Amino acid sequence: MKRSDIRVELGDRSYDILIGKDLINNPEVLKQHLTGRVVIVSNTTVAPLYMQTLKQSLQHCQILSYELPDGEAYKSLESFDKLNSFLLENNCGRDITLVALGGGVIGDLVGFVAACYQRGVKFVQIPTTLLAQVDSSVGGKTAVNHPLGKNMIGAFKQPQAVIIDINTLNTLPPREFAAGMAEVLKYGIVFDRQFWNELIIKQAQICALESDLLADVIKRCCQIKAEIVAADETEQGKRALLNLGHTFGHAIEAEMGYGNWLHGEAVATGMVLAAKVAELRGYISEQDYLEVKQTIASYDLPVVKPESMQVDDFIKHMKRDKKVHNSVMRFIIPTKIGHCDILDDVTEAELANVLK
C-alpha cells in the first residue's frame, strides 16, 4: 500500500497527516517527526500491543513512557494532574515531545497536557482507533471531561504530526470499530453525499477491514477535516458543522456516565435525533430520515436514545453545550444528505416531540 500524506494548512503551525501500513515500526518515517527526548503516553489496553514496537522504532530518541488505565472515565482533571506530575518528576523541559499512542481519550488528554505543560510543548498523535484516526486526532481540539459536561476543560493545540497506521485497526474490538464508523458516516451526512453512498454500497468490504478501501475512507475523512480546520481552526463558524449529533450525544454520555455509552454510539443516536428534527421540519423527507437511521443501524450502532433519559435530562446538558451562544441552544441539523446548517431556533417543545 502506498502511503498517503495530507497537509493541514495553518501557516507556521501546519502539519502532515500520514496514512499507511507499518508506520509504527518504520524508524525512517518516525525520525522525520520525533527526535530528542520523548514521552510516549498510552493506556493499559494499547500499550501491550504497540508500545514495545514503537520504542524499538524510536531508538534514536531518549524515551520515557507513561500508562493510564483504559476508558473515558480517565479523561479527567485527575489524569491531567498525574501526567503533569510525571513530567515534572522526570525533569522534562520544554524540549520534550509527548506522543499520544491510543484512541481519542489518550489523544485529547495528551494534547491538553501539551498545551499547558510549561506553557506548551510539542506533541505527536499516533491514533490507534478508527474514531481517533478519522476525527479526534486531527484539528487540535484537546480537552478533559467534567462531571457536568464532556470536553468542557481544554485548549486548541495542534500536533506536530498525525501518524495513522491502519494495521492498528486489526486489534480494535468490533464495538470500537462501529463507534468509529459513526464519525465516518457523519462526514457523509454533513459534507459529501457521494461519500455517503459509497459507505452504503461498500459496507461489507469496510467491515471486513479491506485495507486499501479502509485507507481511502480514512483519507477522505481526514481531507474534509483538514480543509475545515484550515478554514476555521477555533470553531467560529463552519467547523461547528462537524458536531452533527454531538449535542444530543454529549448529553447521553454525561447523563449515562462516561464510557457506558461510547462516544461514537452516542453520536450515532444523536445524528438520528438531529435527522428527526429535520424531517419534522420538512427539511428532509421521511425516506431520507429512514435512510440515515437504517444506514447507521446497519453499522451496528444504536439509533434510539437511552430508555431512562427524559427530555429534561437532555436539556440540562444541552444548555451547557459549547455551541450555546447568548444562552441560546444551537443545533447542527441536516437539510439534505450531504449538507447541514446551524440552527438556533429549535424549541424545547420540538425537542420533546423528537425525544418521545
pLDDT the model gives residue 144: 96
Asked about 235 being catalytic, the answer comes back as yes
Asked about 55 being catalytic, the answer comes back as no
pLDDT the model gives residue 235: 84
Asked about 60 being catalytic, the answer comes back as no
Low-confidence stretches of the chain (pLDDT beneath 50): none
- Beta pairing, strands 97-102 & 122-127: parallel
CA pair distance 99, 102, nearest whole angstrom: 9
Widest distance between CA atoms in the chain:
60
Structural domains of the chain, with CATH? 4-171 (3.40.50.1970), 174-355 (1.20.1090.10)
User: CA-based angle 273:337:281, to the nearest 5?
Assistant: 50
Got the DSSP string for 200-264?
A: HHTHHHHHTT-HHHHHHHHHHHHHHHHHHHHH-TT-SSGGGGGGTTHHHHHHHHHHH-BTTB-HH
pLDDT the model gives residue 234: 86
- Please state the separation of Cα 8 from the chain's center in Å: 16
Q: How many CB atoms lie within 10 A of CB 289?
A: 20
Give residues with Cβ within 8 angstroms of 278, minimum separation 6: 284, 289, 333, 334, 335
Asked about 239 being catalytic, the answer comes back as yes
For residue 335 the three cell numbers come to 437539510
Asked about 246 being catalytic, the answer comes back as yes
Asked about 293 being catalytic, the answer comes back as no
| 246, 293, 305, 322: the active-site residue | 246
**Burial call 112-149: b when 16+ CB within 10 Å, e when fewer:** bbbbbbeeebbbbbbbbbbbbbbbbbbbbbbbbbeeeb
305: left (phi over 0), alpha (psi -120 to 50) or beta: beta
CA pair distance 74, 259, nearest whole angstrom: 9
Q: How many helices, marked H, and strands, marked E, lie in the chain? A: 14, 11
- What's the pLDDT tens digit per position in 192-240? 999 999 999 999 999 999 999 999 999 999 999 999 999 999 888 889 9
Answer yes or no: pTM beyond 0.85. yes
Q: Are 107 and 127 in contact (CB under 8 A)?
A: yes
| 235, 255, 265, 279: the active-site residue | 235
Asked about 317 being catalytic, the answer comes back as no
The one-character DSSP state at 45 is T
Asked about 225 being catalytic, the answer comes back as yes
